[in-house]
Amino acid sequence: MTGIGNSAASRDKAYFLHPYTNLHAHETQGPLIVERGEGVRVFDDSGKEYIEGLASLWCVSLGWGENRLVEAAARQMRKLPTYHVFGHKSHEPGIDLAEKLIGLAPVPMSKVFFANSGSEANDTVIKLLWYYNNALGRPEKKKIISRVKAYHGVTVATASLTGLPNNHRDFDLPIARILHADCPHHYRFAHDGESEEAFATRLAEQLEALILAEGPDTIAAMFAEPVMGAGGVIVPPATYFAKIQPVLRKYDILLVADEVICGFGRTGNFWGSQTMGMQPDILTCAKQLSSGYLPISAVMVSEPVYRACVEESKKIGTFGHGYTYSAHPVAAAVALETLAIYEERDILGHVRSIAPRFQSRLKALADHPLVGEARGTGLIGAIELVADKATKAPFDPVGRAGAVVNGFAQDNGLIIRAMGDSVALCPPLVIGESDIDLLFDRLTRSLDQAVPVLRG
């Protein structure tokens, strides 16, 4: 290609295909190039400082510059930089991490399977569910329930589970056998005057109606995030999981907890399942498992699921699934060190001590003229931008308000994520009170700057 400059930005536009980016706009706009990180801050190539209000896509729990993780990686790189776990091979970092996760599980689990991302973990679960029901002689019990606005990944199968239109449009998705139950967002979908508990009851009734319409003998499982992340940080209404889980048990439908965002202290408990009262049969996790320093994810399965897989692999002669980098020893070593730091520094205790400040500042934004709802739990939250607070009417077109606020926030030294017109916050778990205040001061300034643009 000719006429390409030597700057990183020009080379980015010339060669780099970016995920979750307006590719047409990127050809003109170009990238924000992040050069380094320190604590809860990152710095661009001009030296400008930003509070990373989304922990680099929900994952850098320990912040940037955690040397213990760097040293853990270096030690393992010197000793055994890579190896596989196919065909009865193994290594101590993988074994140790599996043992540690089983000990930390929110409910009794039997075995751990490792992958490299949340998408791969959830994709693995889909295959396990089909394998499991074939092993039990139930070849028709294969449909999987997700929810509108859910996010479970971007592979062909997991993007089908994801209940967001732009993950389906023109990718020819969703695939067959994927169902979407109603979204548990009280602010948007409750009837006038309907309490959270009554809304949860109605959702459970609608879930049962969906199951009966499809046929209980055709449905294998339901996937659910404890708090829905990329769909807008949607906290379920009170009693929601207490009411839907009996419906699932009634029809022998497994519950899969997608803890990719919520796991490892984000919601104020070690697992989002504990915060929301979930009793999953299968659990997936990633992101904060290694503080995002290296790619690794995990699938924990109950003993009944594991035993069925054992019997089917005995019949076939192998369990024909896995990834070259499953339980990669360096990633596993970094994950083990991450879990050790959580325990030694009582990161969960810190989250519980600081979360009230975070939630207080978040909920106060509900009074801002652009904000219809401020919602969250622990150290995760979102604000929903509306054109009319009384009617909850969104801005037209949907997404413009979020983009405007996101742009001002970046100018003001705050990185957030606009998902439509919901603006998400998920800072590193190690954030302190003064930086929480600075984060919300910068966000408030950005909202104020957006008012004349959006109202003008």
Instruction: Provide the CATH number for the domain around residue 177.
Output: 3.40.640.10
How far is residue 342's CA from residue 298's CA, in Å, rounded to a whole number?
A: 18
- Please report, for residues 96, 140, 216, 293, 375, the alpha-carbon distance to residue 186 in angstroms, rounded to integers and kept in the order given: 41, 34, 27, 35, 11
Query: What's residue 5's pLDDT?
Result: 78
- Let me know how long the chain is: 456
The pLDDT tens digits for 9-47 are: 999 999 999 999 999 999 999 999 999 999 999 999 999
Q: State the pLDDT at residue 3.
A: 65
CATH number at residue 432: 3.90.1150.10
Write the pLDDT tens digit of every residue in 100-119: 999 999 999 999 999 999 99
Q: Which of 318, 344, 370 is the last residue of a domain?
A: 344
Question: H-type helices in 235-345, by residue range?
Answer: 240-250, 272-276, 303-316, 329-344
Q: What pTM, to 2 d.p., does this model score?
A: 0.96
Shared-domain flag, residues 163 and 229: yes
Do residues 301 and 321 both lie within one domain? yes
State residue 57's pLDDT score. 96
For residues 221 and 258, state if they share a domain: yes
Which range marks the domain in which residue 255 is found? Answer: 69-344
Last residue of a domain, one of 344, 374, 404: 344
> Tens of pLDDT along 248-269?
999 999 999 999 999 999 999 9
Please indicate, yes or no, if residue 396 is contained in any of the structural domains: yes
Domain count within the chain? 2
- The burial of 125, by beta-carbon neighbours within 10 Å (0-12 exposed, 13-18 middle, 19 or more buried), is given as buried
Task: Please list the helix, strand and coil fractions of the chain in percent, rounded to the nearest 5, in that order.
Answer: 45, 15, 40
> Given its phi and psi angles, is residue 55 left (phi above 0), alpha (psi -120 to 50 degrees) or beta?
left
Q: Residue 404 and residue 412: Cα distance in Å, rounded? A: 12
Q: What number of other Cβ atoms are within 10 A of residue 359's Cβ?
A: 20
Do residues 218 and 141 make contact, with C-beta atoms less than 8 angstroms apart?
yes
- Which residues make Cβ contacts (< 8 Å) with residue 140, sequence separation at least 6? 217, 218
Tell me, what's the pLDDT at 2? 56
Between residues 5 and 415, the one the model is more confident about: 415
Tokens of 246: 């009996």
